[in-house]
Every structure is written in C-alpha cells, then in structure tokens.
Amino acid sequence: MKKIYFALFMLLCSNLYAQKGLDSVIRIKEVVINENGFSTPISKQNRNVYVIDKEMIAKLPARSIQELLQYANGVDIRQRGPFGTQADISIDGGSFEQTVVLLNGVKIIDAQTAHNMLNLPIPVEAIERIEVVRGPAARIYGINSLTGAINIITRKPTKSGFLVDVHGGSNFEKDTEGTGKTFYGEGIQVGAALSKKHQQHSLFGSYDKSNGYRFNTQFDNAKLFYQGNIQIDDSNEIMTSFGYTNNEFGANGFYAAPGDKNSIETVQTTLVAVQSKHLLSSKWTLKPKLSYRYNFDDYSYLGASSPTAGRSKHYTNSIAAEVITSYKTSAGELGFGTEVRREDIKSSNIGQHHRENLGIYVQYQTYLFEKLNLNFGTYLNYNSDYKWQIYPGIDASYAITDMFKIIGNIGTSQRIPSFTDLYLNQRPANIGNPNLSPENALQGELGFKITKGNFSFNSNFFRRRISKFIDWTRAVNTDPWQSNNVGNQVTGGINMRSDYSMNVSERAKLNINLAYSYLDSKNSEMETGLASKYQISSLKHQLTNTIDFQYLNFSIMAATRFNQRISGPSYWINDFRLSQSIHKVTIFMDAQNIFNTKYYEIGAIPLPSRWLSLGLKFVNF
C-alpha cells in the first residue's frame, strides 16, 4: 500500500510539474471518436474515454491486442495463455462477459463464451488506435456493453508500400517436465498496402509460434487480415474487411486444474464485414453495416494422450445487419439506428441452439448553452429468449473554462447469458443453468477533465449496481461449478489519469502517463459459503505508468503495472522496449517482467517469468 500512496503522490507532483512546462506545446491531430453515427472530437467527449494511439502502440513492448490492453487503466486483462494466446477482458470490476468488443464499429459478440472474444485476426501493425469507453454503453452499442466497450480501429493506408517484421525471444528456462528444450517464441509478420486517389487496400499476414514458457503451453497462431476502402465520390464510401485466425495452444490448467494438465485447444475465427458511408446532404448521413462471424472451438481434456476423451467441439455463427443515420439541426444532432442479429451454435456439450436479437436506438446531442453539452437517448432491445427491454441514458459536460470541464453520465445496460452460461454440460467440471436471467445495471459517473496544451488530467468517480449478477459458484470443492444469478453486485470506484508531453530539446521528446484506479465491489445477497469464480477476482487497486523518451530515431519505453485483486497477492510487472530506426529499418529489444515476478491472473496459472525478445522491422508505408 505504501507504494500505491507514493505513486499517487507522484501523480499529483507530475500535475504541478506539468503546469510549469506548458509553453512547449506539442500539437497533434485530435482523435475523433465515432459512436454509432456521431463523430465527436475526444476533447468534446462527455464520456470517460481512453485512446491508445498508433504512436503509443509502436512504442509499447507488446505484440498482440491483449498485451496492448494490459497498459490501459481500468481494463483488466486476465491471461490464461500469454503473447495473445487467450485472455479474458473486463472493465472496472465487471466480468469478462460484460464488455463488448468492436472492430471498426462492428460488434464482435461471441455467443458461445467471451473467453474467445479477443481471438481476433488483427496484427498490431494493422491498428490505428484502440478506443476504451468506460461505463454503461447500451444506449450506444446495445446488449453486452454493460461495463463498457473497446473499439479497435484499423489503419487506412495513405501511401503504397510493404512491411516485414520478424522477432524471437526466450526466458532461457528449460521444459523439465516435457521435452527438456529451452522455451522460446518467434514470429513473422508481412503486410502490403496500395493507396490510390479513390481506393486504398491493405493486406496483413502473421505467424507466431512458441514451445511455451512451462509444460504444455506451446502455441501456433496464424492470422490473415484484409481491408479495402473505396471512395465512389465525395459523398459515398465503402469499406470491406476480412480476417481469419487459427490459434492452437496447450491449455495446461486453463479450465479444470489440475486434471487438465495435458489439455489442448484450437480456436479458429473468421470475420467478414461490409460497411459504407453516404452523405445524403450536408446535414444527413447514412451508414449501413453487414457482418458475419464464424468461430470453431475444439478442446481436448486429455490432449494427445487420449484425443477423444473429454473432447468438446463448438461451432458458432452470428450474422448481423445494422443501419445508422444522423441528422444535424441548428440546435444539435439526431441519431437513429436499428440492428438485427442471429446467433447459432452446434456443440458436442452445449447442444444446438439459436436466438435472434433486434435493437432500435435513438440519441440526440445538443448544446443547451455555449458551454453545456448534452447527449441523451435510449436503446430498445428485443431478444427471442428474453423479449423486450429498454435502456435509457444521458451524458453531460460543462466547460467551466477552456481548460477545465466537468462531465457526468447515468445510464442502464444489460448482458444476455452466453450459450455456455445456459447449456454447458461438462461434468464433473462445469454445468450451465437454462433458468438464468439477464444481468441489468444502473451506473452513474461524475468527474472532471483538465486539458492545457500538452498536459491533461482526468478524474472520475462511479457507482454501479448490477442486478441478477451471473457467476459460476459451488458449495463444496467436489461439486461442479454452475452458473447462477447470485444477487446484486454493487461496485464503486475512482480512476485518475495524467498525461504529459514535453520537448526536452529540438531533438528529444519525453512523454509520461500515470494512472490509478480503485474499486470496491460487494455482493451482500450472495449465499454464504459459496465459492465464486469471478466475484473475488476483480481488481481492487490498479496502477499503470509509462515513460517514453525519444532522441532523434532512438526511443526507450518503460512500462509499469501494479495489480492487487480482492483476493490473492499483489504484484508489480515492469517491461521496457528499446528501439532504433535507421531509415526504414527499426531494430527493437523487448524485456517483459524484467524483475522476474511470479504472478497469477486466473486461478493457479503462473504467467511467464522474465522474457527477452529481439526484433527487426522494415516499413516503407
């Protein structure tokens, strides 16, 4: 705890120090957040939004979406397999099923289980930025955005060219339980871009493999991603995307430790999306979207020793269509949209099921006064299993001065149980519950933003009440885990984030980010004596800090994470990246967990010890 208080003290000091150096302003193009029809500069946002931009992505010691999100404050990445193998994601103390993930605004909902939500075919080099929207987002994004949303925006090339990126690394330890070989990892990524006046195309492919970091944690991960943008004329644009990933990995201890020591799993995901933008007039915009997702999950409990014993196969399909329109008036902007979705699963231990979902939403943004901005609306949802429900919400901000703004929001949201929650039959380990009800949440947030030149500071307090919270529980260790509505979960929290950039000299630049989150989560209605998978594993304290220094074409990034969960020991993880660019070639070295901390994020699965990597990247676009 002393380290946490010291970090908070440093956060306040960084604010005071920043005020002295505001004359050396670093001006950058402002990020515009797109929320279902509304395009709002981040400085005018009424929500608690955090953006990981491409400059930060290039500097972080990370090679997957999961690793990038480790450094986003308020986001809890709980890894079973590292380096992008498998991870659960949640925001501000929610469960891993309560956050919706989007790719260029298209929702990625895994009806089987959110364990596979981040099995995405998106190489890091293809990402323009990642937007993290905290708080209830159902008014904007619909079902399953109970605690927030993460929108991954891919790059639109501005010139033609190609890239080649290779890397390799090791923890220099040996697999004493298995092959006896030294653990290692390696990968290659290639990409090409074609940029013309009225069309842009990009194609990325990557392959990463490793023999793991402990017994039976090896993986082979192949990804392919294509994106095309075509500007028909000044008023009409079409974007298409296609992605495929095949991820095979050892699943030692992932779901039913210690009996699943030899388990293996393969997850294949295919994504297809077509969307367009049409300026019908100077005031009226129309955006239709069509998307398809296929997921295949093949799990073997005993692995190669008995491939058919305890084997589960799941085939999931979802197809969705959405139409968004917005109309600008003299007083504000009106947004309206509708979406339909069908989800199907065919599974060896879940069965065969399907359901349909219809969503209709409307929102309005206006300035009542010059400095008072309001954004309010509602989402009306119909699900074939749970019928009609409505989710209103309102966001507001008031600019007291040009640099100081107060923000607040209150909203409702929902999470529909997954097919695994409802129908899983995986005795003796896990069984579902077809009588589950959806989770519903009411959340309010109040905070402020300070922005002046190259300095910003955000602080927010929120309180959320989730009724009919879904958790996997059991009374005694010999019972299977079963999904249940376990009562009302009440979570209160505060988060602070400070960013500062300065020109040290004409050739050198320094960036500092320091953020802290505190959560207090309780479920007083939960039956006494029940063991829980998710209630006691939420973060209580989280501290993230990045410092990067760049001199000409040399840069160094130091990243620190502190996590303390409601149960279990706390831990500090320290990483860094060194990189040197020579013309179009960049050489980099990553060191992750440099102090060799032993830590766990899920159950008794130890994560990698110190890991060193070297890489070489050639980019000419």
Highest mean pLDDT of the ranges 76-80, 208-212, 326-330: 208-212
Nearest to 377 by CA among 393, 389, 366: 393
Q: Please write the tens of the pLDDT for every residue from 484-501.
A: 998 888 999 999 999 999
Q: For 219-331, where are the alpha helices, taking DSSP H only?
A: none
Flag whether pLDDT at 255 surpasses 90: no
Q: What is the DSSP string of 330-352?
A: SSEEEEEEEEEEEEEEEETTTEE
Mean predicted confidence (pLDDT) in 223-252:
95
State the Cα angle at 615 between 613 and 619, rounded to 5°.
Answer: 155
Helix (H) or strand (E) holding 486: none
Mean predicted confidence (pLDDT) in 50-65:
90
Beta strand 539-551 with 531-532 is unpaired
User: What is the reported pLDDT for 621?
Assistant: 83
Identify the weakest region by mean pLDDT among 8-17, 206-215, 404-413, 455-464.
8-17
Q: What single-letter amino acid sits at 524?
A: S
Contact between 556 and 548 under an 8 Å Cβ cutoff? The reply is yes
Flag whether pLDDT at 610 surpasses 50: yes
Q: How confident is the model at residue 31 (pLDDT cuts 50, 70, 90)?
A: low
Q: Please write the tens of the pLDDT for every residue from 528-561.
A: 677 877 766 788 999 999 999 999 999 999 999 9
Backbone angles phi, psi at 331, to 5 degrees: -100, -15
Contact between 364 and 396 under an 8 Å Cβ cutoff? The reply is no
Alpha carbon distance 570, 592 (integer Å): 18
Domain ranges across the chain: 2-619
Q: What is the DSSP string of 163-221?
A: EEEEEEEEEEEE-TTTT-PEEEEEEEEEEEEEE-SSEEEEEEEEEEEE--SSTT--EEE
Contact between 481 and 533 under an 8 Å Cβ cutoff? The reply is yes
- For residue 72, the SS3 value is coil
Q: How confident is the model at residue 11 (pLDDT cuts 50, 70, 90)?
A: very low
Percent with pLDDT over 70 in the chain: 92
Question: What sign does the dihedral 249-250-252-256 (CA atoms) show?
Answer: positive
Mean predicted confidence (pLDDT) in 341-357:
95
63 token code pair: 């090679």
Q: Please write the tens of the pLDDT for every residue from 370-417.
A: 889 899 999 999 999 999 999 999 999 999 998 999 999 999 999 999
Q: What CATH homologous superfamily does 2-619 map to?
A: TonB-dependent receptor, beta-barrel domain (2.40.170.20)
Contact between 553 and 537 under an 8 Å Cβ cutoff? The reply is no
User: How many whole angstroms from its chain centre is CA 306?
Assistant: 35
Place of tokens 């979207």: 289
Q: How confident is the model at residue 19 (pLDDT cuts 50, 70, 90)?
A: very low
User: What is the reported pLDDT for 359?
Assistant: 94
Flag whether pLDDT at 26 surpasses 80: no
Alpha carbon distance 156, 229 (integer Å): 8
